[in-house]
Structure 1
Amino acid sequence: MNRFKSRFSLPIVLALLLLMLSNASLYAQGPGVQVGDKTVFGGSYVLASGERLKGSLTVFGGTAQIEQDATVEGDVAIMGGSAVVDGRITGDVAVFGGRLRLGPSAVIEGDLAAFGAVDRAPGARVLGSETSPNFRFALPGFGPGGPPPVVVGREGPGNFLLRLI
């Protein structure tokens, strides 16, 4: 029986030691630090005050809130959802068809590309470039001022197909 214990106790102790060492980086992060990318599909996500997210945040049709004194160490993408930022984002922010609200203590260290709505409180800062394209264009034949539609031939597509048969 003692021989059985000694033969298996060393590998078990080594395995536990390796497990503890492999997770040491997670323990070294401390409380309030989330490691890895976060994705929100139709739900909600809150990064509370004093917390850090070491990764990117992506919101699809959901909501995200980054409270004051919270930090996202990565990029943020909002697609059809909404986000309220009162904290810090060290990466870029992109809004596609969604809504971004920047509170008075919000800081975006990267670029902001807004293809959606952005509400910005006084005091909110974007340290990188800001892009908000203007989508005013005219399609042929639609709306005033657009060029007339292009006519390729006098016969419709049905007549052309009938001639092929």
Structure 2
Amino acid sequence: MEIFALDLGNKQTKLKSRKAEYVLPSQILNKSDMPQQLGSFGTRKISSYKVPFDENEWAWESDLAALKLDEYLQDTLMHQNRYQNDVFRLLANFALGKLATDFKEANKGIMKVIVVTGLPTDDYNSSKQLADLTEVLKGQHQVEVNGKTYTVRVEKVLIVPQPVGTF
């Protein structure tokens, strides 16, 4: 079973597996908000993401800011119920899908993983926040990345207070 480490921060999303590490923005773009002349990403590091629970197709990855569509970008920066927010839920699924792209078994079957993530101390001390985040992450996730479907089953979620991640 693989271990996926996720840091779904307010500004950056940091991802790690035994095969790769990624630092990406914590913003996504609904592809329907893209001007037609930007219909193709060209050589930019931007991928298309879809999940079964949302009808939209989304753009995400490191060069998203280069599109200069700040007014259309959706982020997870909020003060209450962050882990119940639709954009956070999408970002969490996209993060799992992104890590899964490095593993053939996720494209051919169901990849079982353990997720390790951190929470700010205030959120970590809230049983509701812990439960909300666990609910978003645990279970089966099907994520389409650039037309390929990846299936990840999160068997276990380990949540640590963020200061632990500095060691």
Name the TM tier (shorter chain). under 0.3
Between Structure 1 and Structure 2, which shows a larger proportion of helix residues?
A: 2
Which of the pair has more CA radius of gyration?
1
TM-score by length of 1: 0.21
Higher RCO (CA < 8 A, seq sep 6+): 2
TM-score by length of 2: 0.21
